[in-house]
């Protein structure tokens, strides 16, 4: 019976036809109502998850801050103790990693303010690579850059874009635990700036491809499963798309397309005029 209501009645003539059309209209609007209700349930679910995430992140942030301060003090107080540096560096590394994950949780729960400015995607990529260089070297990931030097500048929230690039680069490195190659290509087609990140890592099983952008989906022991979900939201905000192509044990390619004229350009209230640059 539940399902019968969605079946549309065939065209009929006369009064019966009028009744049939009225019933059909009702069925269509009922389906639409159910679709909207589903969407609402999904967004309420996400809001609840966001609140939970923010709460947890705040709880974690204070002790992390205290650990960070104590390590700084240890470095000064016990600078003569041999081998201390190795320990403090290890603590620092882990604390920074936790801080990054906490920031991911906070960003998920409370989307940060948008601020757009004119920027060069190539420069953003170079900037992100300069501070991920040490991590990539340590993981024995070789980077091959193929940046189109005629690429148009775009209007974007540079902090959000940099975060997306970091997420994808970190994921690529994590997918290549024994090293590999990361190729980053930029090009321009059909009024879009297209950026692709190809790794030679473990790849993603076909049946998991639909889930990787879901919040909290992770296959890692210490993953948050938020990086790609936040990245997806950020790219969507810019009117762009993010797609993935992957082959198991061969590697994955993440392709981001950003429109030259972003829908954000219509929002003059978001335009950060004094800060034009990268
Ligand atoms: N380059 C990649 N190669 C293989 N799997 C990937 C890659 N990027 C993402 N994934 C898969 O998508 C999942 C979700 O990624 P993400 O949202 O960044 O969360 P996290 O990195 O915390 O697990 C990862 O756990 C992994 O299974
Ligand atoms: Mg990640």
Ligand 1 neighbours, Cβ below 6 Å, are: 167, 171-172, 175, 199, 201-204, 212, 217-220, 223-229, 252
Using DSSP bridges, classify how beta strands 154-156 and 117-119 pair: parallel, antiparallel or unpaired: antiparallel
Q: In the numeric block, which tokens belong to residue 55?
A: 């709460």
- Residue ranges and CATH numbers for the domains of the chain are 1-110 (1.10.287), 117-275 (3.30.565.10)
Quick one: pLDDT at residue 247? 96
Average pLDDT over residues 80-106: 85
Q: Any idea which ligand is nearest the CA of 208?
A: 1
Task: Establish how many alpha carbons lie within 13 A of residue 7's alpha carbon, considering only the half-sphere containing its beta carbon.
Answer: 6
Quick one: pLDDT at residue 42? 67
Give yes or no for a contact between 121 and 195, defined as CB atoms under 8 angstroms apart: yes
Average pLDDT over residues 96-103: 82
Identify which of 166, 215, 228 to mutate to test ligand 1's pocket (most ligand atoms within 8 A of the CB): 228
Quick one: pLDDT at residue 275? 47
Closest C-alpha residue for ligand 1 atom 23: 218
Closest C-alpha residue for ligand 1 atom 9: 171
Q: Confidence class of residue 166 from pLDDT cuts 50, 70 and 90?
A: very high
Identify which of 178, 197, 210, 218 to mutate to test ligand 1's pocket (most ligand atoms within 8 A of the CB): 218
Q: Which of 193, 172, 169 is nearest to 119 (CA)?
A: 193
With a cut of 50, say whether residue 48 has pLDDT above it.
Answer: yes
With a cut of 50, say whether residue 276 has pLDDT above it.
Answer: no
Three-class secondary structure of residue 198 per DSSP = strand
Q: Give the integer Cα–Cα distance in Å for 183 and 168.
A: 12
């Amino acid at each position: 019976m539940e399902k019968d209501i969605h079946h549309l009645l065939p065209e009929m003539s006369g009064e019966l036809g009028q009744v049939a059309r009225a019933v059909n209209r009702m069925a269509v609007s009922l389906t639409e109502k159910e679709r909207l209700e589903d969407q609402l349930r999904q967004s309420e679910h996400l809001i609840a998850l966001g609140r939970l995430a923010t709460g947890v992140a705040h709880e974690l942030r204070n002790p992390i801050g205290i650990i960070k301060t104590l390590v700084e003090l240890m470095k000064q107080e016990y600078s003569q103790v041999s081998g201390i540096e190795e320990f403090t560096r290890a603590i620092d590394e882990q604390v920074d990693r936790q801080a990054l994950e906490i920031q991911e949780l906070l960003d998920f729960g409370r989307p940060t303010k948008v601020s757009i400015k004119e920027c060069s995607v190539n420069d953003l990529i170079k900037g992100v690579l300069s501070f991920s260089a040490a991590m990539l070297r340590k993981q024995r990931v070789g980077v091959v850059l193929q940046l189109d030097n005629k690429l148009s500048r775009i209007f974007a929230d540079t902090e959000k874009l940099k975060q997306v690039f970091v997420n994808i680069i970190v994921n690529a490195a994590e997918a290549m635990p024994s090293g590999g190659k990361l190729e980053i290509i930029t090009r321009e087609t059909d009024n879009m700036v297209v950026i692709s990140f190809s790794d030679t890592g473990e790849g993603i099983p076909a049946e998991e491809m639909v889930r990787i952008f879901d919040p909290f989906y992770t296959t890692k022991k210490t993953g948050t499963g938020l990086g790609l979900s936040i990245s997806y939201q950020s790219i969507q905000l810019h009117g762009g798309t993010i797609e993935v192509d992957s082959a198991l044990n061969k590697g994955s390619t993440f392709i981001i397309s950003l429109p030259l004229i972003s829908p954000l350009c219509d929002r003059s209230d978001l335009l950060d005029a004094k800060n034009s640059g990268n």
